[in-house]
Amino acid sequence: MSVVGFDVGFLNCYVAVARAGGIETVANEYSDRCTPSCASIKHRVVSLFSLIKQVVTNCKNTVQGFKKFHGRAFSDPYVQSLKENMVYDIAQMPTGTTGIKVMYMEEEKVFSIEQVTAMLLTKLKETAENALKKPVADCVVSVPCYYTDAERRSVVDAAQIAGLNCLRLMNETTAVALAYGIYKQDLPAPEEKARNVVFVDLGHSGYQTSVCAFNKGKLKVLATACDPLLGGKDFDEVLVKHFCEEFGKKYKLDVKSKPRALVRLYQECEKLKKLMSANSSDLPLNIECFMNDIDVTGKMNRAQFEEMCADIWARVEPPLQSLLEQAKLKKEDIYAVEIVGGASRIPAVKERISKFFGKELSTTLNADEAVARGCALQVHLPLMSCLIQIPL
């Protein structure tokens, strides 16, 4: 049996295994190391791939973004606030928790969040088994540092449904720190002053920061701070709102009335956001047969985008300030600032973090795969369990 690390994100998942003397992020059957965090339920088939098309053509039965529902009651105000921007339906389970309503075997059925997550974990388990050529039962699964006990128990239940023995849930901030420190050869000796490193993880659905003290063979997490409501999705929302208004005026289209059109717009806005990170000139947004056989077109540049996101930029610095206050450190005490997460690639985000600490940012880690690698490292380093000084 082999133990693997699973990073189950809001949009994408990664699977890491230890072999050949190192940690490897394994690819799925499509030779892609990134697996979409969604399940498309159609007739009797639960499909986890070819999902870019499924999200559009089978949008009512394609479940994504369900990570936010773990351990939450259906009546939770936060759950109710998410309903507006979802193209699939949610419903209340007999236990009061949130379920997802889909058509399965030609009848309406409500799946629990644990069941849907188990579908995803089952596929990730198969990916790991195909790479290792042996059965996989034990795993370490990453969770955001702000998850409550109920949310964590929900993830463990999902792993059990998938036939996995979850050895531990590992905070994403701790996984990133472990992936950073394990191969560093120049860390100070245990008796010397520790090296303080800040990790900033801005993903699609959450913003997490931590500051860790490193010595050879020792990692101590000094403090963590977060904004669970800030993520890459907020930037997408700004673009979607802008183009919904523009297309309404220009083409007389009510985009939000058509789930399929709304999904396509979200996909195109995410692509546009990524392009603007590398290009400051005017960029086009073109969608053929968008609604009612109408082709739509628009444009955006980075300066406009940054102006539209003024309220979001203001939320980047408070968790960093809270982090230093909790750890009782000054900016001069920080050796390096490492950034990970997909949204950390946005130039304005990097600029504000760099300006706050007054130093160049470090990108020595793979921004997408660092969490999964940290999880895989944890299970193959029994001594590290006692050397990592934080409740995991």
Convert the pLDDT of each residue in 296-308 to its tens digit. 999 999 999 999 9
Identify whether 138 is a catalytic site residue: no
Instruction: Single out the residue of 312, 297, 175 nearest to residue 243, CA to CA.
Output: 297
Tokens of 270: 């995410």
Side-chain-side CA neighbours of residue 110 (13 Å): 13
pLDDT of 64 above 50 = yes
Q: Which of 114, 201, 236, 368 is flagged as catalytic?
A: 201
SS (H, E, C) 45-89: EEECCCHHHHHHHCHHHEEECHHHHCCCECCCHHHHHHHHHCCCE
Q: Is 172 a catalytic residue?
A: yes
Question: Which is the catalytic residue, given 114, 151, 157, 172?
Answer: 172
pLDDT of residue 214: 95
Task: For 28-45, write each residue's pLDDT tens digit.
Answer: 888 889 988 888 776 555
Contact 338, 200 (CB under 8 A): yes
How far apart CA 15 and CA 125 sit, in angstroms, is 9
| Residue 7 a catalytic site member | yes
Say what the pLDDT of residue 42 is: 67
In this prediction, residue 384 carries a pLDDT of 45
**pTM of full prediction above 0.85:** yes
Q: In what order do the strands lie in the sheet with 45-47?
A: 45-47, 38-42, 62-64
For 128, the token pair is 């790991």
Is 201 assigned a catalytic role?
yes
Q: Kindly tell me if the per-residue pLDDT of 284 is higher than 90.
A: yes
Under 8 Å between Cβ of 127 and 26? yes
| 114 DSSP 8-state letter | H
pLDDT digits (tens, 9 = 90+) for 251-282: 999 998 888 898 899 989 999 999 999 998 99
Q: Are the beta carbons of 339 and 363 closer than 8 angstroms?
A: yes
The single residue of 7, 246, 338, 368 carrying the catalytic annotation is: 7
| Confidence at 1, pLDDT banded by 50, 70, 90 | low
206-253 confidence digits (pLDDT tens):
999 999 999 998 899 999 999 999 999 999 999 999 999 999 999 999
275 phi/psi in degrees, rounded to 5:
-65, -35
Whether pLDDT at 81 is above 50 = yes
State the residue for tokens 């003290």: 213
Residue 380: pLDDT band (50, 70, 90) is low
Please tell me the distance from the alpha carbon of residue 392 to that of residue 387, in angstroms, as a whole number.
12
d(CA 74, CA 93): 8
Is residue 374 within 8 Å of residue 5, measured between CB atoms?
yes
Considering the candidates 67, 123, 233, 273, report the single residue annotated as catalytic.
67
- Give the pLDDT score at 390: 45
For 306-349, write each residue's pLDDT tens digit: 999 999 999 999 999 999 999 999 999 999 999 999 899 999 99
Determine phi and psi for 217, rounding to 5 degrees.
Answer: 75, 10
All domains of the chain in start order, with CATH: 2-170 (3.30.420.40), 232-311 (3.90.640.10)
> What is residue 102's predicted lDDT score, i.e. its pLDDT?
86
For residue 362, what is the DSSP state?
Answer: B
Whole-number Å distance between alpha carbons of 4 and 223:
27
Give phi and psi for 68, each to the nearest 5: -70, -15
Q: Are 222 and 237 in contact (CB under 8 A)?
A: no
| pLDDT tens digits for range 114-142 | 999 999 999 999 999 999 999 999 999 99
Element (H, E) at 375: helix 370-379
